[in-house]
Structure 1
């Protein structure tokens, strides 16, 4: 069975975009949240990024799942899988198949802000798993966790946040998010969390600034989204993509750097913004983790980390934590 709820309607999506762009373009320094990369074109670009030789996280996480998915299924013993930021769901299928072999899975709830992309990928899952209740939800998981259809079956649930999506939040925001996840689940439920680990900065920068320029196109796509949805007149080609490692915070920053002085108008906001030559606007952070630090963050939010799986090189980790 397949159904889709739109907790984030087109009107709500537009209001959220307006608020984020107005706040971000008038901030000092300027910034935009990374969720606005992901219109249909942006989602397709990200899928292309995941196959690039420099971008190790997706293939590394997938390799861990290929080796450990049955072990994860046994440890979670879940009747429902909820995935935040579902995307194309390729890695999720490994979990769904393992939970199916384990014999407990009844329901799959994929959640994503990109409605068309989500609907297509969730419908494919439903077609491939005819006995599974697939309940897709279009929503912003940073704000709509309380609206998710959880705890509707007897038994444990597993909520998955894969791809190191958790790294797109600064520490304070991560704490708020993890506490909200904890509040949405019941004691004994589990959180499966993908986390990119600290490593050689040269490899990290390369992963976010590939030689083919796909990540640069993905980064500039946020300007196209503003142009199309808010009547902006950004010239995406007038901005360079920059990836920088911050050793103190241990995160990558993606930025757009203005090549020359320019004035940009966003008609729907009645807003004009100046960019100085060389001025940079942050479009994403991607924090990298150490086991001790992540364990402490989970503990503070009410989780107990019980399992930790990594690849042989120690590039990436999947952790399973239980709600206390």
Structure 2
């Protein structure tokens, strides 16, 4: 937060400006220096704005899905909203969550490595209270979780994580495998402290209380699939079926279009004088022999080589080959 000046300091600053002791440009330059954002080269931003935006879109959908799931589980209205999506280090994430807490370690194939799903103690205790007969409105003390607590919340978290399949289906098909749960964040050494992670934070409103849950996706897990985390790719891939249908419709309409077709037996060059002296029954020698294939043109474009002949009482041609068949142009 910027420092607030007292009235005496403001008067002294105005006096210095009027007397010339301080130049206005110096003050503006100082303000510009304060606007400069520091960049830590030890922890570079590996997730671009497009990646963060796509992750936000995916997990905003995930928030709506798990809100319906939790509502069905606790028989009460539950609202889940995405709060933030940001890149931090794994060490910062571990230090930001309480101890004890419930950390579900799972794999989301085909992504690499382990992903962490942290449920706040307030959220866990409220869910446990409702499932065990309470109304979830009482105050909870921070305590160690029992084996019964862990087994119950593991089933709930597994159900929550399985909904990631629906949230990610527009990007890729994923499968969820829960490896286990951990209550002490400091004991979970799955990543290096400086490893960048994408932290997605959700707020959960149940009754009159609110709690938080976090999804921690390491950069190493998603590195090979970063090209898919682009909004343009997402909408393009989700629209593949409609594009395919449109192409078939266009192809069907093009099939009924009339085109001109002509077979060129050969060509010859004559002078203007020879042209003026032409008369009936004169013979012009072409540059093509009678045994050589003729060129077939479609809309004045050379397309085929053919053999001339008779088709009943009519002249006809038999297609022998394509012209420039190895060259494709999409103009």
Q: Which has the larger radius of gyration?
A: 2
Name the TM-score, length of structure 2 as normaliser. Answer: 0.21
